Amino acid sequence: MRLLIKGGTVVDPVAGSLAESDVLVENGVITRVGRGIAAPGAKVIEAGGKLVAPGLIDMHVHLREPGHEAKETVETGCRAAVRGGFTAVACMPNTSPVADSRAVIRYILERAREAGLARVYPVGALTRGSGGEELSEMADLKEAGAVALSDDGRPVANPGVMRRAMQYAGMLGLPVISHCEDPDLADGGVMNEGYTATRLGLKGIPGAAEEVMVARDIILAGLTGCRLHIAHVSTAGSVRLIREAKARGIPVTAEVTPHHFTLTDRAVEGYDTSTKVNPPLRGEADVAAIREALADGTIDVIATDHAPHTPEEKDVEYDRAPFGMVGLETAVGLVWTELVAGGVISPARAIAMMTVNPASVLGLEAGLLAPGSAADITVIDPELEERVDPDTFYSKGRNTPFAGRLLKGLPVMTMVGGKIVYRR
C-alpha cells in the first residue's frame, strides 16, 4: 500500500522549520520526504496549502473506561481524538476500577486495539486506588504497558508518600505526572478565588492551592531525581516556580490546557457548569503569564485534560456539578486561533508542544515525520474556519464552554500507521 501526500507544507518540530515537501508512505511507514517525489501507482492525497505534521499526541485525556462508559468509552474517546487530529493519547487512571493493576492496563490496551483508531498509552495509578496512601505495583504497571504514573484528578496529599512514589517511579524510569492541589487550601471550592467568585457567591480555590504543591513536588523531584511532569498548570505563580526549577536543572516539565490559555474566571459569570474545571479558570494575569510561558519554553506541552461528563451530571447547580470539560475536538482550532494566529507562538512550536515534547516526556518514539518512522501524520488546514458545535462531537461528552466559538485552523486528515482514520 503506497500513499503520497503531495504538495503540503511539512512541519519539522525539531528543526523548527516549515518546507514544501511530499511525503511517501509505504506499508505504514514513512519512506521518503522531499520535493517532487514520483510514486507511480501510489494513491495521491493533495495537501497544497495545508500543514503536514507528525501525528499529534495528547498526553492528558480521560477515556473513562472501565467503569464510566456513559461519559466516554475507549472507542468514542479515540474517535474524538482522531477527529481532533490526535494520533495518540495518554489516558489517566481515574477509571472504575482505578488503573492500578495489570488487568486494567491490559483491558484498556485491548479496547484500544479493537477500536483501531488512535494509539492509546495508559497512565498507571501512582498509589493504590489513587487513595494517596499505599504505592501501586509500579513495576507490574510498567510491564503491562503504563508509560507514566499519576493520581490525576486527586492530589497526593502526603509528602512522605509522594517522596517514596517518586523514588520508585524514578528507579523504573517512569515520569510522575502530578495533579497539584493542596486539598486543605482548595477546601471544597468550585471556581477561582477572587472578585468574580465573591460576586457570584461561589466558593473560591486560591492559586496557592496549586502553587504550594508545585513547589513541594519540585523540591521532591530535586531530592529523588525522579522526572516530574506538572499537569494542567493554571497560575502565574506556578509558571514562576517551574521556570526557576528548570533554570536550576531540576528534571521538571509542564503542560497547559487550551482552556487555561483561552478563558478567565469571567467565563463562569453565566453559571454555565461546562466552565467548571479543576484547576479552575483563573484571572487575566494568570492567562498572560501562561501565554508568555508557552512562548519562552517554560511550558513544554499542550494537553487537553479531555474530561467528558454526561449532561445529567452537568445539568445541576454549579456547586454540585463535576469538574471537567471535553477538549479533544477543539484543541487544534484553539491553538491555531488563539496562539498561532494570535502571534503568541510559531506554527512549528505549536506542533512541537503536541508532538515531540509529549513524546519525550513519556519516552515514546513518536512525534517525528522522517523516513523510517511509523506513518502517524496529521494534516491541518490553517485557513479552514468553523463554529464549535458540540452536537457534531464524536466524543460522548458535550461539556464544552466553547460552543459557538469561531475557530480557524482545523485538522482535516489523521493517519495512524499509514491508515487514514479520519478525513474531513
Catalytic site residues?
A: 305
Total number of residues binding Zn ion (CB under 5 A)?
2
- Smaller CB separation from ligand DOR, 318 or 323: 323
- Smaller CB separation from ligand DOR, 49 or 67: 67
Q: How far is the CB of 305 from Zn ion (least distance, A)?
A: 4
Q: How far is the CB of 281 from Zn ion (least distance, A)?
A: 15
CA distance linking residue 17 with residue 33, whole number of Å: 14
Binders of ligand DOR among residues 288 to 307 (CB under 6 A) are: 305, 307
> By CB under 6 A, is residue 93 in contact with ligand DOR?
no
Q: How far is the CB of 152 from ligand DOR (least distance, A)?
A: 6
Q: 68 touches which of ligand DOR, Zn ion, none (CB within 5 to 8 A by kind)?
A: none
CA distance linking residue 60 with residue 414, whole number of Å: 19
Identify whether the C-beta of residue 374 lies closer than 8 Å to the C-beta of residue 396.
Answer: no
Q: How far is the CB of 309 from ligand DOR (least distance, A)?
A: 7
Name 195's Cβ contacts closer than 8 Å, sequence gap at least 6: none
Q: Select from 6, 50, 60, 62 the one that contacts ligand DOR (CB under 6 A).
A: 62
Name 209's Cβ contacts closer than 8 Å, sequence gap at least 6: 181, 182, 185, 186, 187, 189, 279
CA distances to 37, 125, 161 from 354, rounded to whole Å, are 28, 23, 31
Identify whether the C-beta of residue 306 lies closer than 8 Å to the C-beta of residue 326.
Answer: yes
Binders of Zn ion among residues 379 to 418 (CB under 5 A) are: none
Question: DSSP assignment of 10-37, as one string?
Answer: EEETTTTEEEEEEEEEETTEEEEEETT-
Q: 318 touches which of ligand DOR, Zn ion, none (CB within 5 to 8 A by kind)?
A: none
Q: Residue 343 class from Cβ within 10 Å (0-12 exposed, 13-18 middle, 19+ buried)?
A: exposed
> By CB under 6 A, is residue 151 in contact with ligand DOR?
no
Q: 274 touches which of Zn ion, ligand DOR, none (CB within 5 to 8 A by kind)?
A: none
Q: How far is the CB of 282 from Zn ion (least distance, A)?
A: 17
Find the Cα–Cα–Cα–Cα dihedral 324, 327, 328, 329, rounded to 10°: 130
Binders of ligand DOR among residues 94 to 123 (CB under 6 A) are: 94
Binders of Zn ion among residues 257 to 316 (CB under 5 A) are: 305
Q: 94 touches which of Zn ion, ligand DOR, none (CB within 5 to 8 A by kind)?
A: ligand DOR
CA distance linking residue 113 with residue 364, whole number of Å: 18
Q: Select from 72, 151, 152, 255 the one that contacts Zn ion (CB under 5 A).
A: 152
Name 424's Cβ contacts closer than 8 Å, sequence gap at least 6: 410, 411, 412, 413
Binders of ligand DOR among residues 173 to 212 (CB under 6 A) are: 179
Give the three-state DSSP class for 282.
coil
Which residues of this chain interact with ligand DOR, rule CB under 6 A? 62, 94, 152-153, 179, 277-278, 305, 307, 322-324
Which residues of this chain interact with Zn ion, rule CB under 5 A? 152, 305
